Copies of this chain bind each other. A is one copy, B any other.
């Protein structure tokens, strides 16, 4: 079996979060899989709304292009809004998986309905739109926000982690859900312990997406270049974006 290299792209520029995400990816990667955790050279330190997502999407594309040049086997977009997902699929030749879709897909395999626990209330609309686009509206029983910003997960205090835990417990008790999806790349390392403590699947999308990429590669499947995910037409991009050409 040939070696697999998976580029895990943290769409924000927070180095601490890139490391958290890389750690979570490596913890579940197969023996023959190398994880390359990267983040954009330019962008936004955390992603907490559509504006942040629009900026992050360009950073994702910058890294997709780099990964493609390096010949990676697949790409993971490690932010729960899956920013730039379809654009990345156009640009990439290898498969691309977002952590929100990966976590949601996995959740439907182990429970009839799941709950989502994310960071800020203002990001709930993003999760709702993804549920609709991916087809999982009926599989999601409830969405929760801990009402702390994304970077609180990296402040070392443990407060955000404790709030995530409390919300997961509440969701288990009240939602009638069989599983919980963690709604932020920065929560990736919490899934395992919470799964054990709660006794139900608590799903991190980073790990889920890594396994999805490994699966697609093993199956010989990659983004279809027939139709609407074909490579972008070659065009003269303005200077600020010429690195994407």
Contacts and interface: CB of A to CB of B under 8 A. Distances in A.
Interface of A: 1, 13, 28, 30-31, 40-46, 48-55, 57-58, 61, 84, 86-87, 89-91, 95, 97, 101, 105-106, 108-113, 121-125, 129, 132-139, 149, 172, 176-179, 191-192, 195, 199-201, 203-204, 207-208, 211-212, 214-216, 218-230, 232-233, 235-241, 244
Given A13-B238, A87-B54, A229 B134 contact: no
B111 A227 contact: yes
Contact of A227 (B61, B112, B132, B237): B112
Contacts of A219: 28, 106, 191, 203-204, 207-208, 211
A229 B108 CA distance: 12
Contacts of A220: 192, 195
A42 B109 contact: no
Contacts of A89: 50, 110
A51 B215 contact: no
B176 A227 contact: yes
B226 A172 contact: yes
Contacts of A52: 232-233, 235
B51 A91 contact: yes
A201 B111 CA distance: 28
Given A132-B132, A178-B229, A86 B109 contact: no
A44 B240 CA distance: 10
Contact of A224 (B54, B200, B241): B200
A31 B1 contact: yes
